[in-house]
């Protein structure tokens, strides 16, 4: 449930803050999708909570030697998940690349959670023009909502536009 999701977020956070730290996920049950997400977030191992102490020690020792440890039964499922995720990412990247630079800029504003009016102010455009751009973005990405566009953008690795950076520039004074 929610805790498992938080665990994967935690793994990603630890990897970003402390690249040298290795993490092993102690899981409630073996789930190929969760295990794949954990590995993509930077985990080095995955063990079930009900595994033996000797199994846990084997995994921890292996991970300390820079090995990645997964239960053999999970391997096929995890590889399938990672291949599917890569395929989705590639499709998403291709769709995002079909956008014009202005549409991509509008999409990054959408990823940052800005509404039409805020996007218009930020890009010095009329709200009507922004609406047209947003409709074009949804059409080219083949989605029906801003939420779906943002999810696809994130899958393609599109980050939010930097909101803080611009405020500094507008004032002309570094913070």
Q: Tell me: the pLDDT tens digits for 34-85?
A: 998 888 888 999 998 988 999 999 999 999 998 999 988 898 899 898 888 8
Q: pLDDT, tens digit, for every residue of 11-27?
A: 888 888 888 889 999 99
pLDDT value for 170: 40
Question: In this structure, which topology does domain 98-171 adopt according to CATH?
Answer: Arc Repressor Mutant, subunit A (1.10.10)
φ and ψ at residue 36, rounded to 5 degrees: -60, -45
Domain 2-88 and domain 98-171 have a common topology: no
pLDDT value for 64: 92
Q: Is the pTM of this model over 0.85?
A: no
Mean of the per-residue pLDDT values of the chain: 86
pLDDT value for 89: 86
Among 83, 153, 165, residue whose Cα is nearest residue 122? 165
Q: 36 by DSSP, 3-state: which?
A: helix
For the chain, which residues make up each domain, given as ranges?
Answer: 2-88, 98-171
Q: Which alpha helices (DSSP H) does the chain contain, by range?
A: 2-17, 32-41, 53-64, 72-97, 101-111, 116-123, 127-141, 146-155, 163-171
CA pair distance 98, 149, nearest whole angstrom: 14
Residue in the block written with tokens 């990054």: 108
Average pLDDT over residues 117-126: 95
> Is residue 2's pLDDT more than 60?
no
Residue in the block written with tokens 């899981």: 27
**2-88 CATH choice from 3.40.50.2300, 1.10.8.50, 3.30.870.10, 3.10.150.10:** 3.40.50.2300
Q: Which two tokens stand for residue 14?
A: 């630890």
Among 57, 59, 22, residue whose Cα is nearest residue 42? 22
């Amino acid at each position: 449930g929610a805790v498992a999701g938080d665990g994967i977020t935690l793994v990603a956070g630890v990897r970003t803050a402390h690249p040298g730290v290795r993490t092993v996920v102690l899981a409630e049950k073996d789930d190929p999708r969760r295990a794949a997400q954990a590995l993509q977030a930077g985990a080095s191992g995955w063990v079930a909570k009900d595994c033996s102490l000797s199994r846990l020690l084997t995994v921890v020792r292996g991970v300390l030697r820079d090995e990645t440890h997964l239960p053999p039964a999970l391997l096929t499922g995890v590889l399938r998940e990672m291949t599917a995720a890569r395929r989705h990412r590639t499709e998403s990247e291709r769709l995002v690349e079909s956008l014009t630079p202005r549409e991509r800029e509008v999409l990054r504003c959408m990823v940052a959670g800005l509404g039409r009016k805020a996007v218009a102010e930020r890009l010095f455009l009329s709200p009507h023009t922004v609406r047209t751009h947003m409709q074009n973005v949804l059409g080219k990405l083949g989605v029906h909502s801003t939420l779906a566009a943002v999810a696809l953008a994130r899958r393609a690795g599109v980050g939010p536009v930097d909101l803080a950076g611009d405020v500094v520039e507008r004032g002309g004074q570094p913070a």
